[in-house]
Amino acid sequence: MLAQPIDSQDNGASDTWTPEQQIAHMLDLCEAQMESALSESDLAVESLIKAFTGLADTTRSVSELAEKLPPEIKEVAINGLNQQVDTISKQMAAAIVAFQFYDKLSQRLGHVRYSLTTLAMFVCDRAQTSQKDQWRRLFTTLKRLYRTEEERKIFQMMVEGASAEEARAYVQQTTQTLPPAATGDIELF
């Protein structure tokens, strides 16, 4: 990376020390922290998904076994078993939606990480940072990254001058008005 470490002024490299490089270095640090947290979470979610699919497969097997019970036992047990399987299936469906939010989170954080890296490189180049057009170009590049409705809305608000606090307030408000585990739209062409 282009940035010099923060303590570079103490190891004889002070002639290359610039505030821009320090900003870039801090941005890189944020990106690295995010990557580390995401990698850790990925492993945890992976095992959670394995456990989930295992549980789901077992539920299906139980359901299939119930169908094969001798008629006299089936008659007594089937209604109760079916009810239990129905309940589990509904919970599984809710879990499927919830898992997808983690996927969405990873994707969104990936965009933030890319933004941080891009910005870190950008701020190191004075020829670029001093030109308004270059900033506009950077914004256009970053805008293309944001693909979900939420990302686009936040980006738009901030570009139009909203403060981070206003954007946060908007996010909180929209999150609270959403039904739990709201799913996406479907459109057939």
DSSP conformational letter for 68: T
Q: Which of residues 34-53 bind other proteins (CB under 8 A)?
A: 45-46, 49, 53
Q: Is 186 a residue that touches other proteins (CB under 8 A)?
A: yes
For the chain, the distance separating the N- and C-terminal CA atoms, rounded to the nearest angstrom, is 46
Q: Is 102 a residue that touches other proteins (CB under 8 A)?
A: yes
Contacting range for other proteins; rule: CB under 8 A; set: 112-120, 132-140, 159-167, 176-184:
176-184
Q: How many CB atoms lie within 10 A of CB 180?
A: 7
Among positions 93, 159, 164, 169, the unique one binding other proteins when judged by CB under 8 A: 93
The CB-based long-range contact list for 108-111 (8 Å cut-off, 24+ gap) reads: 108/148, 108/150, 108/151, 109/34, 109/38, 110/38, 111/145, 111/146, 111/147, 111/151
- Whether the CB-CB separation of 112 and 34 falls below 8 Å is answered with yes
Q: Is 100 a residue that touches other proteins (CB under 8 A)?
A: yes
Burial of 90 (0-12, 13-18, 19+ CB in 10 A): exposed
Task: Supply the minimum distance, in Å, between the C-beta of residue 108 and other proteins.
Answer: 8
CA-based angle 123:136:170, to the nearest 5? 95
For other proteins, give the closer residue by CB, 13 or 96: 96
Among positions 62, 101, 125, 141, the unique one binding other proteins when judged by CB under 8 A: 101
Q: Is 74 a residue that touches other proteins (CB under 8 A)?
A: no
Site string for other proteins, 134-153 (x = CB under 8 A): -------------xxx--x-
- Whether the CB-CB separation of 36 and 69 falls below 8 Å is answered with no
Number of residues forming the site for other proteins (CB under 8 A)? 30
Query: Residues interacting with other proteins, by CB under 8 A?
Result: 45-46, 49, 53, 56, 60, 92-93, 96-97, 99-104, 106-107, 147-149, 152, 181, 183-189
